[in-house]
Amino acid sequence: MSIFLDENTKVVYQGLTGSAGRFYGLRNRDYGTQVVAGTHPKKVGEEVDGIPIFANVGDAVEATGATASCLFIPAPFVKDAVMEAADGGVSLIVVITEGVPAHDEAWFFNKLAEDYPDVRLLGPNCPGLISPGKANVGITAGHIAKDGGPVGIVSRSGTLTYQALYELKQQDIGVTTCVGIGGDPVPGTSFIDCLAAFEADPETKAVMMIGEIGGSAEEEAAEFIRDHMTKPISAYVAGVTAPPGKKMGHAGAIVSGGKGTAAAKMEALEAAGVKVGQNPTEAGELMVDLVRHL
């Protein structure tokens, strides 16, 4: 099985008529994803390489049965686009856009939780998710991932998401689903959300987790792992050498007041029984060893 995304997922791309949306939307379709629609209120009735364009997500859902939306929308307009997707009836919203204002993220995160509790938001500022061999929504290169399981991957870092997939593929180890949750301060989907889903998935036998400095998500995940996870986990936390008080990459990756350090996160994960690598390759090697002992 896979989590959140499979071969039956039908996706509408908000921003399909733009250059980035078109590139990744068609790339995802070529991978095998059911990309069934795009949206643009001024281009209704047009097509992008055979994919019909609708005025809004609601119209696309009504015409195509779309169940997910992927956003390639400029940051100032993401707030409205997220609510359009939720109002339109999809159950999964994937926001690739970087630079979304934090107050907007907080607003639509809480609005969805209040009004649309069954809608899953992934991102913003994330690479999306891929269930290898089934579907790919976002910007991950499909050829670096091997299908067939038994590993689930969840990562805050986009680039290290790709490395984790490729490290496992080089060892002929497949993945059920790889979820890039993004590193912004208010992520729609958390480590814990993904860990719980992987724990419940019978085909996911082990989990690889990639964290980074800033915030407390990894420590919270460590508590969940200690209390609820039965499957083996390997992990890596990026930012061991990051200087305190300096922003590293994006808004979520900052160590402040002695909190959010890589060392503290690694210590918490190790205390919960997680095999923690000192670099991404070592984390991959630890996962290989865990899989071989399943």
**What is the per-residue pLDDT across 137-160, written as a single tens digit (0 to 9) for each?**
999 999 999 999 899 999 998 889
Q: List 51's β-bridge partners, or say none.
A: 48
Q: How confident is the model at residue 251 (pLDDT cuts 50, 70, 90)?
A: very low
Delineate the domains of the chain, giving CATH numbers in brackets.
Answer: 10-122 (3.40.50.720), 141-292 (3.40.50.261)
31-42 residue pLDDT tens: 999 999 999 999
Read off the pLDDT of each residue in 267-276 and give the average, rounded to a whole number: 97
pTM of the predicted model as reported, rounded to 2 decimal places? 0.94
Report the candidate in 53, 62, 124 with the shortest Cα–Cα distance to residue 87.
62
Q: How many CB atoms are closer than 10 A to CB 115?
A: 11
The predicted pLDDT at position 240 comes to: 73
**Torsion-angle region of 172 (φ positive above 0: left; ψ -120 to 50: alpha; else: beta):** left
Mean pLDDT of the chain: 93
pLDDT at 242 over 70: no
Higher-scoring residue by pLDDT: 281, 251: 281
Does the active-site annotation cover 103?
A: no
**Torsion-angle region of 46 (φ positive above 0: left; ψ -120 to 50: alpha; else: beta):** beta
Q: Tokens standing for 76?
A: 């100032």
pLDDT at 243 over 90: no
The predicted pLDDT at position 244 comes to: 64
Which residue in the list 103, 143, 250, 293 is annotated as catalytic? 250
Tell me the CA end-to-end span of the chain in Å, nearest whole number.
18
The predicted pLDDT at position 24 comes to: 98
Characterize 177-208 residue by residue with b for buried, 16 or more Cβ atoms within 10 angstroms of its Cβ, and e for exposed: bbbbbbbbebbbbbbbbbbebbbebeebbbbb
